[in-house]
Amino acid sequence: MSRAQHDPNLDLAFSRHVALPAEALWAAWTQPDLLMPWFCPKPWQTVACEIDLQPGGIFRTVMRSPHGQEHVNSGCYLVVEPNRRLVWTNALAPGFRPLPPNRDGDDFLFTGEIALMPIEAGLTRYEARVSHATLADCDKHAAMGFEKGWSVALDQLIEFMRLRQAAAGQ
């Protein structure tokens, strides 16, 4: 019931089959205590996370480098379809409020989307997509290592959730 319009020139995307149930991937994306351990590629750490899981609700993370440099990303959710689809943007503040027009030149706006499709028991197709306003923003995000970064983060997610499953099974 919601529409994403893809544009290969303005979007970055990758997909992978993951040996976890969709519910585990959803939990890892939507609960702060399950998101912080894997969300940014090491040695950076996610040191804060705020989630209000409803359209218009806040999604805010703070990443910290080993040298103490911090990067805050804040926005709101747009689509919340449990275990299937999560869409958020940093182009609107919580409550769907527009952002002031004069942005920091170092920053850029994007809308992110995680789509989960169960394939069989314990196996899920995972698709991550980030859409940008301009070719320049899209190229910049690609040059920052979008695919490698998100792929490494997904590896960290899988490892964390499997360790957690194993610990729960003991």
Among 95, 142, 147, 165, binds a copy of itself (CB under 8 A): 95
Element housing 76 (H / E): strand 70-81
**Residues forming a β-bridge with 130:** 12, 112
Site for a copy of itself in 9-68 (CB under 8 A): 10, 52, 54-57
Site for a copy of itself in 132-151 (CB under 8 A): 132-134, 137
Q: Interface mask (CB under 8 A) for a copy of itself, residues 98-117, using x and -?
A: xxxx-x----xxxx------
Of 149, 88, 147, nearest to 114 (Cα)? 88
Options 18-26, 39-47, 66-74, 79-87: segment touching a copy of itself (CB under 8 A) = 79-87
Beta-carbon contacts of 167 under 8 Å, excluding residues fewer than 6 positions away, are none
For 38-57, give one letter per residue: b (16+ CB within 10 A) or e: bbbbeebebeebebeeeeeb
Binding site residues, a copy of itself, CB under 8 A: 1-7, 10, 52, 54-57, 78-80, 87, 89-101, 103, 108-111, 131-134, 137
